[in-house]
Amino acid sequence: MPELNLVLLGPPGSGKGTQGERLNEDLRLPYYATGDILRAAVRDETELGRTAKGYMDAGDLVPDEVIVGVIAERIDSAEALDGFILDGFPRTTPQAEALDAKLVELGRGVTAVVLIDVGDDEVVRRLGGRRTCAANGHVFHVDFNPPKEDGVCDIDGSELIVRDDDKPEVIRKRLNTYHAKTEPLVAYYDQRSVLRRIAGESPPDDVAEEIRRTLATMRLEQDEAV
């Protein structure tokens, strides 16, 4: 298989960032978190970055074609010659269609979409259990990484708070948005035979191992088909 172009898909709190970083280390492919590369384009004042900044400064959403253009700048580079890992885009079916069209222009395509499947209740438990240090932003979790003293940061002794983003009602709203706008991508990519489902409620090491096995099997199947 000449290149491995991956899209990570899943609800907030599914662990896409964690698994993306692991894949980056395992596969030696660039990991593109969409928000990061958009901010980098703005910071570096590329032509598309300046365009995006104009929308952001006006409080408007950056149009899909601008985001796709920023992503294409990174994908169409020497560092992504053997493939890439894309996290945070696409979020909607029109964005997926725009990304596919741009990849076709570049003579490329999505190899696999890795869906890290996590139920709503588990997402609420994961995100709702986070506690953040009010002074310096150190993060703890009531289940996975509890502080030694309840409500107090181990590192600097400041109060641990629940950020607005981590309140259950906000998490549920984010999940509703995911189900309405992003979940249709499951069917979109499944119809194109590139979707790979991963059980995301297992421990991170187990999820990483399942992703490795899935990609290895996919490579083997494609090699045999040649």
Which residue is catalytic, options 91, 102, 172, 181? Answer: 91
Is 16 annotated in the active site?
Answer: yes
Is 74 annotated in the active site?
Answer: no
Alpha carbon 43 to chain centroid, angstroms: 21
Which residue is catalytic, options 102, 163, 212, 219? Answer: 163
Which residue is catalytic, options 174, 181, 197, 219? Answer: 174
Which residue is catalytic, options 22, 130, 131, 196? Answer: 130
In the structure encoding, which two tokens stand for residue 116, read together? 């890290």
Is 163 annotated in the active site?
Answer: yes
In the structure encoding, which two tokens stand for residue 151, read together? 């409500």
Residue recorded with tokens 């506690």: 131
Give backbone dihedrals phi and psi of 115, rounded to 5 degrees, phi first.
-90, 115
Amino acid at 118: V
Query: Do 125 and 143 form a contact (C-beta atoms < 8 A)?
Result: yes
Q: Is 9 helix (H, G, I), strand (E, B) or coil?
A: strand
Residue recorded with tokens 């985001």: 67
Q: Is 188 helix (H, G, I), strand (E, B) or coil?
A: helix
CA distance 158 to 139: 12
Is 91 annotated in the active site?
Answer: yes
CA atoms within 13 A on the CB side of 126: 17
Which residue is catalytic, options 16, 125, 126, 196? Answer: 16
Catalytic residues: 16, 91, 130, 163, 174
